[in-house]
Structure 1
Amino acid sequence: MDYPRARHDLEFIPIDHEGRQMILVRDRLGLVPYGTGVPRGLLPVLALMDGLRSLGDLAREVTALQGGRRVTPEDIAPVLAELDAAGLLDTARYREAKAAAAAAFAANPVRAAVFAGPAYPDSPQLLGPYLDAILALAPGEPAPPAGAKLLGLIAPHIDPESGKAAYAAAYAPLRGLSPARVVVLGVGHQIINGLYSLTDKAYATPLGEVASDAAAVAKLRRAGGAVVDPSDLQHRDEHSVEFQAVFLRHVLGGETPFSLVPVLCGSPAGALAEPSRRAFLEAAGPFLAALRELAAAPDTLVVAGVDFCHIGPKFGHDKPADLLEEAATAHDAALLDALSRGDAEAFWAESARVGDGYNVCGLTALATLAEILPPARLTVLCRDIMREKETASAVTFAAAAYTAR
Structure 2
Amino acid sequence: MSTDNPRARHDLEFIPFDHEGQPTILVRDRLEIVPWGTGIPQGLLPVLALMDGRHSLAEVAAAVTEAQGGRLVTAEDVAGLLAQLDTAGLIDSPGYRERKAAIAAAFAAAPRRDTVFAGQAYPDTPADLAAYLDEVLAEAPTGAATDTAPLAIIAPHIDPEAGRAGYAAAYAAIRGCAPRRVIVLGVGHQLMAGLYSLTDKPFATPLGEVATDAAAVARLRQAGEGCVDPSELPHKAEHSIEFQAVFLHHTLGKTPFAMVPILCGSPTGLLAETSRQAFRDAAGPFLDALAELVRQPGTLVVAGVDFCHIGGKFGHTEPAEALEEAALAHDRALLDALAAGDPDAFWAESARVDDAYNVCGLTALGTLAEVLPPAAMVLLGHDIMREAPTLSAVSFAAAAFTAR
The TM-score, its normalising length taken from structure 1, stands at 0.89
Paired amino acid for 1:305: G
Q: Could you tell which deviates more after superposition, 107-116 or 133-142?
A: 133-142
Residue number in structure 1 paired with 2:398: 399
Moved more, 230-239 or 91-100: 91-100
Aligned residues of 1:191 and 1:197 also touching (Cα < 8 A): yes
Offset of residue 25 of structure 1 = 3.6
For residue 297 of structure 2, what is the amino acid of its counterpart? P
Cα gap change, 1:64/1:152 in structure 2, threshold over 3 Å: closer, same or farther?
closer
Distance in 2 (alpha carbons) for counterparts of 1:61 and 1:153 = 39
Between Structure 1 and Structure 2, whose CA radius of gyration is higher?
A: 1
Aligned partner of 2:175 in structure 1 is: 175
> Cα distance 1:17–1:275, how it changes in 2: closer, same or farther (>3 A)?
farther
Specify the alignment match of 1:138 in structure 2.
140
SS in 2 for 1:110: coil
Give the aligned partner of residue 305 of structure 1.
304
Cα distance between partner residues in 1 of 2:154 and 2:204: 22
Structure-2 separation of matches of 1:287 and 1:245 = 23
Task: Give the superposition deviation at 1:199.
Answer: 0.5
Over residues 276-306 of structure 1, what are the superposed CA-to-partner deviations in whole Å (9 max), with x where a residue is unaligned?
A: 1110011010000010011001111000000
Aligned to 1:158: 158
Give the residue type in structure 2 aligned to 1:362.
G
* Cα distance change of structure 1 residues 386 and 90 upon mapping to structure 2, 3 Å threshold: closer
Matched, 1:369 2:368: yes
What is the alpha-carbon distance in structure 2 between the residues aligned to residue 168 and residue 42 of structure 1?
32
Q: What corresponds to 1:359 in structure 2?
A: 358
- Aligned CA distance change for structure 1 residues 357 and 90 (closer, same or farther; 3 Å): closer
**Deviation of 1:330 (Å):** 1.2
**For 2:52 and 2:276, how far apart are their aligned partners in 1?**
30
TM-score (structure 2 length as normaliser): 0.89
Bigger mean CA deviation after superposition, 186-195 or 84-93: 84-93
Q: Residues 292, 25 of structure 1: CA spacing in aligned structure 2 closer, same or farther, 3 A cutoff?
A: same
RMSD: 2.8
8 A Cα contact 1:9 1:27, kept in partner: no
- The alpha-carbon deviation at position 241 of structure 1 amounts to 0.4
Aligned length: 396
Q: Quote the sequence identity (%).
A: 62
* Unaligned residue ranges in structure 1 (runs of 5+): none
> Quick one: structure 1 residues 142 and 41, their matched pair in 2 at CA, closer, same or farther if it must change by over 3 Å?
closer
Residues 211-360 of structure 1: matches in 2 within 5 Å?
Answer: 211-254=211-254, 256-360=255-359
Of 90, 110, 113, the match for 1:111: 113
Give the aligned partner of residue 201 of structure 2.
Answer: 201
What amino acid sits opposite 2:139 in the alignment?
Answer: L
Which residue matches 2:384? 385
Cα deviation code 1:192-248 (max 9, x no counterpart) = 111001011000000000011111101101100110001010111110000000000
Shift of 1:92: 3.7
Give 1:61 shift: 8.0
* Aligned partner of residue 140 in structure 1, secondary structure: coil
Query: Cα distance 1:108–1:357, how it changes in 2: closer, same or farther (>3 A)?
Result: same
Asked if the contact 2:115–2:203 (Cα under 8 Å) also holds between the matched residues in 1, the reply is: yes
How far apart, in 1, do the equivalents of 2:360 and 2:200 lie? 23
Q: Which deviates more from structure 2 when the two are superposed, residues 351-360 or residues 293-302?
A: 351-360
